[in-house]
């Protein structure tokens, strides 16, 4: 039985991932390359998909699994899925015996060693029904060194017909011994136009006008869009605007608000990081408006232009620190202190 750890039900997952190549937007060149190697039978044994959260890495990885396990043309090397056969529908529902998608269990901050050991054992078995065994590890940046070392031998000596796909926000979050044994595929953010279209088609907003207004704030990620629809998040954005627009920033108050906002995600460490990134995006949004005012001479306070420009750089740096999995609360509190010193 495949190891499929998730806090979401298979039914919710099926609704979320019942897609085909043609419905995945924004990654045409990546999809073209993947389909090409599938047709030619030149798949690597392990891939590392890196890029921001919410841009489609998991969609592409899952569609890749469906193409390999589709039963419509089992005798052929097809690069596409029919989305109707038992193989496709079971991959979507995460019940296929040759497919597993691993996530950090709810309430955990990293992958348990026992879960990784079970997953490796599953990947090492001969395919039960399809031509491959496919394992996707989402949020592979949350693999501890011990957990990552568990499947190092699998990367060095991959079982026949096995495929491992790691999903992570950045390549630097993986051990050198792991990333050197994977083929890296880099995903960029989604263009605002694509985000706007997806906002409407996914039902996150009702009108194209609302989508056009929301899309630039999403940083090319649908995850941010879903957060931005929450009243609590919109209220936080307004609070941040008022705080950053003051003549001088209260670093203690800013730090408290940032920490409270990310801690509202509970024990979900990935959700906390997403909230942290979104909060910093709100700050950048208002700092850039101040930067424009200072450069246009509207704000003539001495040294203001340089201070705001430096503040934008510090905010971007804090965002990078969150991506590198530094202690989230400490990173945000340190950032708030730096911003308070710059904008006094």
Is the CB of residue 49 less than 8 Å from the CB of residue 57?
yes
pLDDT digits (tens, 9 = 90+) for 46-63: 999 999 888 999 999 999
Check: pTM over 0.85? Answer yes or no: no
Q: Is residue 177 domain-shared with residue 259, that is, in the same domain?
A: no
76 band by pLDDT with thresholds 50, 70 and 90: low
Q: Order across the sheet with 162-168: list the strands.
A: 99-102, 133-137, 162-168, 46-50, 183-186
Q: Which domain holds residue 312?
A: 230-342
Which ranges of 264-303 would DSSP assign to H, the alpha helix? 269-295
Residue 191 lies in a domain: no
Nearest alpha-carbon partner for 138 in 114, 169, 93: 169
Residue reference for tokens 């400490």: 330
Q: Which residue would you say has higher pLDDT here, 103 or 301?
A: 103
Q: Is residue 267 domain-shared with residue 168, that is, in the same domain?
A: no
pLDDT at 11 (0 to 100): 31
Q: Is residue 18 domain-shared with residue 104, that is, in the same domain?
A: yes
pLDDT digits (tens, 9 = 90+) for 257-292: 999 999 998 877 778 888 888 898 889 888 888 887
Residue 79 lies in a domain: yes
Residue reference for tokens 């419509």: 72
Q: What share of the chain is helix, strand, coil (3-state, %, to 5)?
A: 55, 5, 35
Please report the DSSP string for 19-60 in residue order: --GGG--S-HHHHHHHHHHHHHT---SEEEEES-TTSSHHHH
pLDDT higher than threshold 80 for residue 295: no
Distance (Å, whole) CA 154 – CA 6:
23
Is the CB of residue 189 less than 8 Å from the CB of residue 85?
no
Residue 265 lies in a domain: yes
Q: Is residue 162 domain-shared with residue 236, that is, in the same domain?
A: no
Q: Is residue 135 domain-shared with residue 35, that is, in the same domain?
A: yes
Domain stop point among 130, 155, 186: 186
- Cross-strand bridge partners of residue 137: 102, 166
Q: Which residue would you say has higher pLDDT here, 46 or 299?
A: 46
pLDDT at 258 (0 to 100): 93
Q: Is residue 176 domain-shared with residue 253, that is, in the same domain?
A: no
Q: What is the largest CA-CA distance in the chain?
A: 73
pLDDT at 44 (0 to 100): 95
pLDDT at 75 (0 to 100): 62
Distance (Å, whole) CA 309 – CA 71:
56
Q: Is residue 155 domain-shared with residue 265, that is, in the same domain?
A: no
pLDDT at 343 (0 to 100): 82
Q: Is residue 24 domain-shared with residue 153, that is, in the same domain?
A: yes
325 band by pLDDT with thresholds 50, 70 and 90: low
Q: Is residue 41 domain-shared with residue 135, that is, in the same domain?
A: yes
Q: What is the mean pLDDT of the chain?
A: 84
Domain stop point among 133, 160, 186: 186
Distance (Å, whole) CA 56 – CA 62:
10
64 band by pLDDT with thresholds 50, 70 and 90: very high
Nearest alpha-carbon partner for 92 in 15, 27, 38, 161: 15
pLDDT higher than threshold 60 for residue 5: no
Rounded to 5 degrees, φ, ψ at 338 are -65, -40
pLDDT higher than threshold 70 for residue 166: yes
State the total domains in the chain. 2
Rounded to 5 degrees, φ, ψ at 169 are -70, -25
Residue 219 lies in a domain: no
pLDDT digits (tens, 9 = 90+) for 182-220: 999 999 989 999 989 888 887 888 889 988 888 887 878
Distance (Å, whole) CA 49 – CA 279:
25
Residue 48 lies in a domain: yes
Q: Is residue 269 domain-shared with residue 148, that is, in the same domain?
A: no
pLDDT digits (tens, 9 = 90+) for 87-102: 999 999 999 999 999 9
pLDDT digits (tens, 9 = 90+) for 231-242: 898 889 889 888
Domain stop point among 186, 212, 243: 186
Residue 282 lies in a domain: yes
Residue 135 lies in a domain: yes
Residue 109 lies in a domain: yes
Q: Which residue would you say has higher pLDDT here, 137 or 145?
A: 137
CA 118, distance to chain mean position in Å, is 24
54: domain CATH number? 3.40.50.300
Q: Is residue 165 domain-shared with residue 244, that is, in the same domain?
A: no
pLDDT at 326 (0 to 100): 59
Q: Is residue 179 domain-shared with residue 52, that is, in the same domain?
A: yes
pLDDT at 4 (0 to 100): 52
Give the pLDDT mean for 120-137.
92
């Amino acid at each position: 039985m495949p190891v499929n750890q998730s806090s979401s039900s298979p039914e919710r997952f099926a609704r979320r991932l019942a897609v085909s190549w043609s419905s995945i937007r924004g990654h045409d060149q990546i999809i073209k390359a993947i389909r090409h190697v599938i047709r030619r039978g030149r798949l690597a044994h392990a891939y590392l998909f890196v890029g921001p959260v919410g841009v489609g890495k998991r969609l592409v990885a899952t569609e890749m699994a469906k193409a390999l396990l589709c039963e419509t043309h089992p005798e052929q090397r097809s690069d596409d899925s029919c989305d109707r056969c038992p193989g496709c529908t079971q991959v979507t529902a995460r019940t296929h015996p040759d497919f597993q998608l691993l996530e950090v269990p709810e309430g955990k901050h990293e992958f348990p060693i026992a879960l990784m050991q079970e997953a490796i054992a599953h990947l090492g078995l001969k395919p039960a029904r399809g031509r491959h065994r496919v394992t996707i590890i989402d949020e592979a940046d949350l693999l501890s060194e011990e957990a990552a070392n568990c499947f190092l031998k699998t990367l060095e000596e991959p079982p026949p017909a096995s495929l491992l796909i790691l999903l992570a926000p950045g390549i630097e979050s993986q051990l050198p011994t792991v990333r050197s044994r994977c083929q890296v595929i880099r995903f960029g953010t989604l263009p605002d136009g694509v985000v706007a279209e997806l906002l409407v088609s996914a039902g996150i907003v009702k009108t194209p006008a609302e989508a056009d207004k929301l899309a630039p704030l999403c940083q090319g990620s649908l995850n941010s869009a879903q957060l931005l629809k929450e009243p609590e998040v919109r209220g936080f954005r307004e609070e941040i605007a008022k705080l950053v627009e003051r003549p001088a920033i209260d670093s203690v108050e800013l730090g408290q608000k940032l920490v409270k906002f990310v801690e509202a995600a509970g024990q979900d460490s990935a959700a906390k990081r997403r909230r942290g990134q979104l909060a910093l995006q709100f700050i950048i949004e208002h700092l850039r408006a101040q930067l424009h005012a200072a450069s246009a001479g509207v704000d003539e306070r001495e040294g203001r232009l340089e201070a705001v420009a430096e503040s934008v750089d510090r905010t971007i740096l804090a965002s990078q620190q969150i991506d590198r999995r530094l202690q989230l609360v400490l990173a945000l509190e340190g950032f708030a202190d730096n911003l308070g010193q710059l904008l006094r």
